[in-house]
Amino acid sequence: MKALYILIVSLLLPGMQPVEANTTSDLNSKIIGKWAVTLPDVPVFSDIFAFSLDVREKDKAMVFDLQGADMDVRDMRFTEKNGKLLATLCIGEFLRIAIWEENGVIKGSVDTLMLGELSLAFEKIEYKMLLKN
């Protein structure tokens, strides 16, 4: 009986692999690209209502460019922690950005000194090739 148990376990072990539900590397592959980002909790007339975020991999790290009203930030690095991409930058004040995936949807927040924590809404910018007939 013990020999049968050992045989079954030895046949099953090579096929077993650890599974992580929401790894940062999965998030990395999904977040790469250009995004239109809005802050739904901020009035439309605010200077920081919307911006573009371009995320890419550079030198084995996730980096981003951020452009919007009076903002032009280049090659900022994300750090990875607990399945989230995190960044701190200074645009008039220090901002802490967090991006994660929840139920297949990219979500995020920005923590500011003046306004507190605000949610971010992401919409992927798709580039379509226009063909002339």
How does pLDDT run across 59-111, given as a tens digit for each residue? 989 999 999 878 899 999 999 999 999 999 988 888 999 999 999 999 999 99
Structural domain includes residue 8: no
Structure confidence by residue, pLDDT tens digits, 32-73: 999 999 999 887 666 667 899 999 999 989 999 999 878 899
Structural domain includes residue 43: yes
Q: Could you tell me how many helices (H) and strands (E) the chain has, helices first?
A: 2, 9
Structural domain includes residue 13: no
Number of domains in the chain: 1
Structural domain includes residue 104: yes
Structural domain includes residue 5: no
Q: What is the domain range of residue 66?
A: 22-124
Confidence of residue 5 (pLDDT cuts 50, 70, 90): very low
What's the pTM? 0.74
| C-alpha dist (Å) from residue 132 to 74, 125, 128, 129 | 35, 22, 13, 10
Structural domain includes residue 33: yes
- Residue 47: CATH number of its domain: 2.40.128.20
